[in-house]
Each structure stands twice: as C-alpha cells, then as structure tokens.
Amino acid sequence: MDPLQELNREIQSCKRCDLFFSRRRAVCGTGDPKPQLMIIGEAPGAREDETGIPFVGRSGRLLREVMGMAGLDINTVYISNAVRCRPKIGKSPRISEIRKCSNFLRSEISILNPQILVPMGNSPLRSLRSVLGIDFGPISEVEGIIFSLGNIFIAPQYHPAAILRNPKRYERFKDNFSRLREFVDDVRRMDSGEIEKNYRIRHISGA
C-alpha cells in the first residue's frame, strides 16, 4: 500500500484521544502528493467533520480566495491539519490533543518532503514544536517571517478563521500570501545564496 494511503487509513481509525467519541469523520490531508508547499491548519470545523475533507468551510473559501489572488494554484499544494478530529464547539484544540496527533504530521512531512511549510495559527506551531523540536512562539509574533531549518522553510501565517474574526488583518493576510507565492517561485529558480540575498531568512536549528 502507498505510504500516504496507509497513513490516512491510520488517521481514519484513530482512537488516541476523546475527540474520537464525538467526531463524525477524522479528516486526512489532501492535495498534491509531491508538493513544494504544505499548508497546515488547526483542526476540522463542522463542514470538515461532515465531509472528511480539510478547509471546505468558510475558512477554506477565504484561503482559496486569497491563494487565487496571489496566483498560488491550490491543486499543487498539500493541505492538512494539526488535529484531525473536530474539537468541542467553540474550542481550540488542547495541547494533549495536538500532541496525540503530532505523529501524523511528522509522518506526512516525511512522506511528502515539502520544501515549504505554512503553519496557519497557534495549533500548527505547537504541533511543529513536537515534530521539529522548535518553539516558534505565538503566531502574532512570527506571522510573515520565513524560517530556514536545513532544507526546509517554514512560513507561519494567521489562520483564515482569525481573519474572519478580525477583518482588519485581511490586507496583511493577502499580502503575506502574495509574498509567499513570490517566494515559492524564487525557491524553484534561485540558489540558496540568492534566496538569502532577497529574503530576510531566519535560520533555526531543531532538537
């Protein structure tokens, strides 16, 4: 069996935390199996819980809108979540739930080998702390920064749900994705020295 299909079967049958009791469906990642860019959201909402597909609700529509305006083809990226089952209504995932799911994210990154990770919000950053051994801090302090860890780049952004709650952040969110698209293009065609020259990359080291 394909490693990604095998991982998705494991996600769909997961019973590692109490969210298993209330979920309709566990939500697996979806998209290009050989992506340059991997987007990591927080957790499924109501629509995702119904369909088993990530980012199909209001946040997903906003994400697709902004990516389209930036010229990023959503069919060429892989979209996943820090937590694979819907948390309690109105609640963010708990640290214990994020940790229970972090091995799924670790496996996805290993299988997909993306060049660029885009964690959207605090929950994905906490999951990457478990996966990479790095404390990025809160999203409010690192959104828009591009980090370099070995051969992988991490570009944190606000989650679309945060933009829906606070529309004043919309223009910056849109601009960040336009800049991200430029970065994606430059990573394809430039060597590391040119990337360093054109972007203020912040180098980090994992555990």
Domain limits, the chain: 3-203
pLDDT band, residue 160 (cuts 50/70/90):
very high
pLDDT of 87 over the 80 cut: yes
Distance CA 3, CA 37 (A): 19
Q: Could you tell me the two tokens for 126?
A: 């906490």
Q: What percent of the chain has pLDDT over 70?
A: 98
pLDDT of 190 over the 90 cut: no
Mean pLDDT of 99-105: 96
Give residue 116's pLDDT.
97
Mean pLDDT of 130-135: 94
**CA geometry: angle at 176 spanning 163 and 91, to 5°?**
30
pLDDT of 52 over the 80 cut: yes
What's the CATH number of domain 3-203, 3.30.420.40, 3.40.50.1100, 3.50.50.60, 3.40.470.10? Answer: 3.40.470.10
pLDDT of 145 over the 70 cut: yes
List beta partners, residue 149: 152
* C-alpha pair distances (Å), 187 with each of 4, 66, 180: 25, 21, 10
Give residue 207's pLDDT.
60
- What average pLDDT does the chain have? 94
List the single range of 26-35, 166-175, 190-199 with lowest mean pLDDT. 190-199
Exposed/middle/buried for residue 189 (C-beta within 10 Å: 0-12, 13-18, 19+): exposed
Distance CA 156, CA 123 (A): 11
Query: pTM to 2 decimals?
Result: 0.95
